[in-house]
Amino acid sequence: MAFLAPVAERQAALEARFPVWVPRRLDQVLDLVAAEFPDRPLVVTDERTWTYREIREWSVRIAGGLAAAGVRPREHVALVMANYVEFVAARFGISRAGCVCVPVNVLNRRDELGYVLRQSNAVALITMDRFRDLDYLSFLDELRSSLGELRTVIVRDDLATLTGSPVADVPTGPDDVADILYTSGTTGEPKGVLLTHDMLLRTAYGSAYGRAFQDGRRITFSLPMYHVYGYVEGLLAALFVGGAIIPQPAFSPTATLEAIARHRADDALFIPTMTLAVLDAAAQIGAGPTTLTSAISSGGISPTGLWDRIHTEWAGVELTTGYGMSEVTASSTVTRPDDPPEKRLTTNGRLRDVGVAGGGKHLVDYRVVDVVTRADVAPGEIGELLASGPGVTAGYYDKPDETALAFSDGPGWIRTGDLGRIDTDGYLTLVGRVKECYRCGGEQVMPKEVEDVLTGHPSVAQAHVVPLSDDRMGEVGVAWIVGRGDVDPAQLISWCAGRLARFKVPRHVLTIDAADIPVTPSGRPRKFLLAQRAAAELR
């Protein structure tokens, strides 16, 4: 296990490199780091490594190619790209051209892709030809008559040879919109979150500062870069220490362990279900992630017992967890690397300290309000989380009604839709989603409480509780279970009955494979889809 300097010492080194905050565009930060560390690796894959100089030069060619194709500054360029090096080069190339990037979920099918292209007013698209079973070029052919303003398509294989005169003096700056990131839709139709260059970079620096990145940190992840987790906490954060990313196009626990060993990763980004799978894989092969010095497991509520296993099996690894969403740019609360273990066990961290990027303040502040009266609740009480600050989006692209609703609790305060509590020390604990709660016989049920009981049973790896309409009770619970071997529904219902009030005990238990759970890019289950499936199966 490699040695890490104390947290304060690593943070001081970052402050020495960035003594004051200078607002910049994404490509300008790449240029800054490439001038300092031209030959350091930025993107590491099994096939080859790309240096900062190589990615910068590639992004210059892509920017020139977009301009040559008639794409003008401030126009929108959609990007359908998995975690390949082309995502990185194209992302900085789009910024260098002065354009707005619209990263698209690579798992979108034809109609979902068409919706994003039309709704975002994308004039150009950089895309893979296919990924897994998805044929994007066929989708585009079928959508030909309904693609809105789209006039230019560039395929992944052509990015390597794309050329054009270097673009100079683009009229965009740090406060211009850099990305329109579409929400992953836990409750319905995606909305385009507006994020500026400065918001993204301040948050990324805050990630490096809050987790105390050492110089040259190597970060591996399979979380998609079309979502803020992999994009901000991975790619952009690495820039501030001249670090490298080791991106994986798809998650495999075994491949993750192999990538850590082969490329000597210092850090890994996980969501709780990924962490659990990597722990299980390491136990099976009898070899853990020996080069890791740090890891974060965030993006949702952790299954019961997960942190106990992490602390035992990854002893010596500097661990953190947190909470965030696209609307607040990325993680906005985190545990500190030197926090005591119980903070990771019981909370999602406190407001992130971002050093010079915040000018002495936080990028995001929270308050908790009653879900009915909308009045502030006392510390430690559960309510809906509202967020405010320079890290919070100004709204959703071309959706004024949705934007107004999101900010209906007062100017500057966005409704997160998440249920949580904040204790007297400022630590936040996430307990669920407002729209995931339901009433059984008039009593409110928070699925997280039931899921914690279920994952305490040895046969349960994951539990996802959703409501089902019921003529007598109004709604009853359905528990979707990912099992460890055989699952006995009657036994699990009895297990809950001995530990929960009667109205909280799920009426039905259904099994599902982990791969079949519909999730957002940040790993949250899309429970409205699980509820729809439960209704269909139990009809």
Residue at 334 is within a domain: no
Task: Report the percent of the chain where pLDDT is more than 90.
Answer: 77
Q: Binning pLDDT at 50, 70 and 90, where does residue 527 land?
A: confident
Cα gap 56→52, rounded to integer Å: 6
User: Is the same domain home to 68 and 129?
Assistant: yes
Say what the pLDDT of residue 503 is: 86
Task: Report the percent of the chain where pLDDT is more than 70.
Answer: 98
Average pLDDT over residues 55-61: 97
Average pLDDT over residues 326-338: 93
Whether residue 423 contacts residue 342, with contact meaning beta carbons closer than 8 Å, is answered with: no
Element (H, E) at 343: helix 341-346
Whether residue 399 contacts residue 192, with contact meaning beta carbons closer than 8 Å, is answered with: yes
Say what the pLDDT of residue 501 is: 81
User: Is the same domain home to 406 and 484?
Assistant: no
Q: Which residues lie below 8 Å from residue 35, measured CB to CB, with a gap of 6+?
A: none
User: Is the same domain home to 368 and 457?
Assistant: no
Give the residue among 211, 215, 287 at the shortest CA–CA distance from 256.
287
Given 388, 411, 433, which residue is the final one in a domain?
Answer: 433
> At residue 333, does pLDDT exceed 90?
yes
Average pLDDT over residues 188-203: 92
Say what the pLDDT of residue 273 is: 80
What's the CATH code of the domain at 156?
A: 3.40.50.12780
3-state secondary structure at position 266: coil
What phi-psi label fits residue 287: left (phi over 0), alpha (psi between -120 and 50 degrees) or beta? beta
Average pLDDT over residues 1-16: 89
Say what the pLDDT of residue 187 is: 47
Say what the pLDDT of residue 301 is: 66
Q: Binning pLDDT at 50, 70 and 90, where does residue 181 land?
A: very high
Residue at 371 is within a domain: yes
User: Is the same domain home to 499 and 514?
Assistant: yes
Say what the pLDDT of residue 436 is: 82
Cα gap 236→238, rounded to integer Å: 5
What's the CATH code of the domain at 452?
A: 3.30.300.30
Cα gap 446→457, rounded to integer Å: 19
pTM of this structure: 0.86
Whether residue 268 contacts residue 220, with contact meaning beta carbons closer than 8 Å, is answered with: yes
> At residue 1, does pLDDT exceed 60?
no
Digit-coded pLDDT (tens) for 346-363 = 899 999 999 999 988 999
Average pLDDT over residues 408-425: 93
User: Is the same domain home to 460 and 501?
Assistant: yes
DSSP code string of 2-65:
-----HHHHHHHHHHH-SS-----HHHHHHHHHHH-TTSEEEE-SS-EEEHHHHHHHHHHHHHH
User: Is the same domain home to 387 and 509?
Assistant: no
Residue 14 phi, psi (nearest 5): -65, -40
Query: Is 443 or 517 the better-scoring residue by pLDDT?
Result: 517
> At residue 125, does pLDDT exceed 80?
yes
Say what the pLDDT of residue 190 is: 83
Residue at 94 is within a domain: yes
Say what the pLDDT of residue 186 is: 45
User: Is the same domain home to 414 and 467?
Assistant: no
User: Is the same domain home to 60 and 183?
Assistant: yes
Residue at 329 is within a domain: no
3-state secondary structure at position 264: coil
Q: Which residues lie below 8 Å from residue 428, measured CB to CB, with a gap of 6+?
A: 323, 333, 347, 348, 349, 350, 366, 385, 420, 421, 422
Given 370, 400, 433, which residue is the final one in a domain?
Answer: 433
Q: Binning pLDDT at 50, 70 and 90, where does residue 188 land?
A: low
User: Is the same domain home to 461 and 525?
Assistant: yes
User: Is the same domain home to 182 and 61?
Assistant: yes
Residue at 516 is within a domain: yes
Residue 521 lies in domain: 437-537
Give me the chain's average pLDDT, please: 93
Say what the pLDDT of residue 289 is: 86
Say what the pLDDT of residue 324 is: 92
Q: What does the chain come to in residues? A: 539
User: Is the same domain home to 420 and 451?
Assistant: no
Query: Is 10 or 346 the better-scoring residue by pLDDT?
Result: 10
> At residue 132, does pLDDT exceed 80?
yes
User: Is the same domain home to 72 and 178?
Assistant: yes
Cα gap 78→105, rounded to integer Å: 10
What's the CATH code of the domain at 401?
A: 2.30.38.10
Number of domains in the chain: 3
| Out of 54-63, 130-139, 221-230, 427-436, least confident range | 427-436
Given 166, 190, 214, which residue is the final one in a domain?
Answer: 190
Q: Binning pLDDT at 50, 70 and 90, where does residue 440 land?
A: confident
Q: Are strands 218-221 and 267-270 parallel, antiparallel or unpaired?
A: parallel
| Out of 33-47, 130-144, 217-231, 418-432, least confident range | 418-432
Residue at 407 is within a domain: yes
Residue at 140 is within a domain: yes
| Out of 168-172, 277-281, 445-449, least confident range | 445-449
Residue at 239 is within a domain: no
